Each structure stands twice: as structure tokens, then as C-alpha cells.
Amino acid sequence: MMMKSNVPFPNHPRRLHPFMPTILLGLCLAWPLCASDRYLEPGHPDGVALLAPPPEAGSAEEAADLQMTRELVKARTSAETAIAVEDMKLNVFNFAQAIGPIFQPGKFPKTEALLAKVRKETSGVVNAAKEHWKRPRPSSMDPSLAFGKSEASFSYPSGHSSIGTVQALVLAELFPEKREAILAQGRRIGWNRVLTGYHFLTDVRAGRVLGQAIVREMTANPAFQHDLAEAKAEIAGAQTSQ
């Protein structure tokens, strides 16, 4: 026996808002773009799988690492200190030293957007590796190495070395005629972190390896390829107008 429902049924289907089909279509079209606009897939590259662990705490290797930092900090000149302080900012426009005065803020908006996104995604990869190993910084082992403002993040791998490497490799693609000078400045960013006692040399070397792996992953990504091509066109246009 069929039970009679007390729920009233309308005599006609409920009408959609006249703009609803357009809104739904827009969301459907936008979703794949939003889902794939990252330059790096989650977990790629995996710094923990890629890098060897840092020297074991209390080992002779760690002691040698610390002693090298002490010696480099002690030998640092005032000129090296001034350069290191500027490099700490990770301001991508500091690469104007290698590229030339054409590379100025506000002149290349697409290039700036590309590099900002690159840095943000690079930081996520580096921080995941730092949180895994939780290596203390040199100044936590030897307070005499403290320089400027202390940093709460862990030491291995060096974030400045990773980001400096990534920035340099991307800029070398954009300004190939300045490639060697750009890459040298990228290496300097990491090296100066040892001179100022923020990092061990092993941290900096690991950062360079991770930075190279990050750029390899990015260059295979269609969203990155698209944005890089637009940045290259933007720079070519500016160079032609000059």
C-alpha cells in the first residue's frame, strides 16, 4: 500500500536565476585554470628525499662545519659585511648589479609577478625540508657568531641559498647575455650567509642543490613556461625601445 506524502510538490519545476547558468559555466571554466596555475606540484621537489641529511649532531663533521663558520666570520671584512647585509634582503632587484640599470622596480610588471610567485613557491619547498631536519643554526651552538636579528627558522637547507639560486637561474633565462654575472651573484647570496654566521657551509650547498631541483621542476610546468615567455617578451620590448 502506497503511503500518502504530506510534503507538497510544486506543479512546475523551480526556476533558476536567469544569470545562474552563466555563473556556473564561468566557475567550471575557471576551476581548471585555478587548479593548475601553480609552478610546482605539491611535494615536488621533495627536499627530504633529494638532499642528504645534515651532519649528525655532536659528530666530528658537525664540529668541522662549525669551525669553518667561526673562521669565516672572524675573517669577514667590513666591505663583505656591507654586501652581505644587502644580500640578506633577497630583493630581486639587487640583481641589477649584474644585469644593469634597466632592471628596476615597476618597469617589468609581468617579470615581477613571475619572480614573486617563484619565490613564494620556493619558500614552501625549503621550509618543508627545514622542518624535517630541524638543524640548529651556528649561533645557537656558539653565541659569539650571532649577527643582526636572530632568525627563528632552522638552518638546513639555507633558504637564502635556495632562493638566491632559483632567482639567479630564472633571471639568467630572462637576461642570457648576463648569465655568468647573475649566477655568480646568486652563489654570493648563499656564501654571505656563512660569512655572517647564519648558516653552515653544508646548509648553503644543500640550498644550491635544492634550488636547482626547484627550477628543473618549474621549467617543465606549462604555467611557468607561459609566464616566463610573457616576461621574456616584456623584457625584449623594453630592450628594443632603449
Catalytic residue among 137, 199, 205, 208: 199
* Active-site residue, selected from the candidate residues 135, 137, 160, 205: 160
User: Residue 36's pLDDT is what?
Assistant: 67
Q: How far is CA 147 from CA 72, 95, 137, 186, 210, in A?
A: 13, 24, 12, 21, 25
pLDDT at 2 over 80: no
Which pLDDT band, with edges at 50, 70 and 90, does 143 fall under?
Answer: very high
Please identify which of the residues 188, 193, 205, 208 carries the catalytic annotation: 193
Annotated catalytic, 226? Answer: no
* Catalytic status, residue 199: yes
Whole-angstrom Cα distance, residue 184 to residue 188? 6
Q: Is 203 annotated as catalytic?
A: yes
For 188, the grid coordinates are 654570493
pLDDT at 241: 80
pLDDT one-digit tens code per residue, 21-31: 454 445 444 43
Determine which one of 65, 87, 188, 203 is catalytic. Answer: 203
- Which pTM does this prediction carry? 0.85
Q: pLDDT tens digit string along 75-118?
A: 999 999 999 999 999 999 999 999 999 999 999 999 999 999 99
d(CA 94, CA 90): 8
Q: Copy the grid coordinates of residue 109.
A: 610588471
160 is catalytic: yes
pLDDT of residue 17: 52
